[in-house]
């Protein structure tokens, strides 16, 4: 692995962990003893920390040093078809989580199964979403626009706009949804 790639991963891992803890750079500086400009350079991949600095950061952020330098193991990021992870929300819609549940993750992905005729009213949430129809017909309304998506069609939009979806045809809809932030 090249040094540049490791630096990019470190900057993202550092920023994600700090944001997860809702810490400012100034707060991290106070706890770690490292300067705000140096921390900013690390997060923006413009500097590389010494081992001692990395240890201070790990301690200040409540993680082991391996959080910043180790490669994840497949069990942390691979989902097997034979072992789906389903969310039971007590609804007729079924959600199969595809995304891993590791710390600092901001992206979520699901296979969503919507029975024919079922949908949800206008709603909105933070972040963006990508909807990709695998089978069936999905009626989608975003703002004032309503359209039908069929297999192979997709929609990608800022979900802070009002939207709704419904299985429009006589067949259930199966779709891939991926978006941010993660669904708790």
Average pLDDT of the chain to the nearest whole number: 85
Spatial CA neighbour of 106 closest among 175, 178, 164, 44: 178
Q: Assign domain 79-179 to a CATH class.
A: mainly beta
Summarised one tens digit per residue, pLDDT across range 111-154 is 999 999 999 888 998 889 999 999 999 999 999 999 999 999 99
The C-alpha angle 123, 116, 161, rounded to 5 degrees, equals 15
- What is the predicted pLDDT for the residue at 66? 76
pLDDT above 70 for 172 = yes
Residue range(s) of every CATH 1.10.260.40 domain in the chain:
3-69
Q: Rounded mean pLDDT of 19-28?
A: 93
Q: List pLDDT tens digits, range 60-78.
A: 999 887 777 766 555 556 6
Overall average pLDDT of the 94-115 stretch: 83
Q: What is the mean pLDDT of residues 44-52?
A: 85
Q: What pLDDT is stored for residue 24 in this prediction?
A: 94
**Higher per-residue pLDDT: 20 or 173:** 173
What fold is seen in the domain 3-69?
Answer: 434 Repressor (Amino-terminal Domain) (1.10.260)
Residue 52 pLDDT grade (very low, low, confident, very high; cuts 50, 70, 90): confident
Could you give the residue range(s) of every CATH 2.60.120.10 domain in the chain?
79-179
pLDDT at residue 82, rounded to an integer: 73
Burial 19-53 (b: 16+ CB within 10 A, else e): eeeebebeebbeebebeeebbeebbebebebeeeb
Residue 100 pLDDT greater than 70, yes or no: yes
pLDDT over 90 at 35, yes or no: yes
């Amino acid at each position: 692995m090249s040094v540049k790639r490791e630096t990019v991963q470190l900057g993202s891992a550092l920023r994600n962990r700090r944001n997860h803890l809702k810490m400012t750079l100034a707060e991290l500086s106070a706890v770690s003893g490292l300067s705000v400009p140096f921390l900013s350079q690390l997060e923006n991949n413009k500097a590389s920390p010494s081992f001692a600095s990395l240890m201070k950061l790990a301690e200040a952020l409540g993680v082991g040093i391996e959080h910043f330098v180790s490669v994840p193991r497949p069990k942390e990021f691979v989902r097997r078809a034979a072992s789906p992870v389903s969310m039971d929300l007590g609804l007729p819609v079924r959600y199969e989580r595809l995304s891993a549940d590791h710390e600092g993750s901001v992206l979520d992905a699901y296979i969503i199964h919507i029975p024919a005729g079922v949908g949800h009213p206008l709603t909105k949430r933070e972040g963006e979403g990508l909807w990709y129809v695998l089978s069936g017909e999905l009626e989608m309304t975003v703002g004032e626009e309503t359209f039908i998506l069929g297999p192979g069609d997709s929609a990608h939009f800022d979900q802070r706009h009002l939207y709704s979806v419904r299985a429009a045809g006589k067949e259930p809809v199966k779709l891939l949804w991926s978006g941010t932030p993660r669904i708790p």
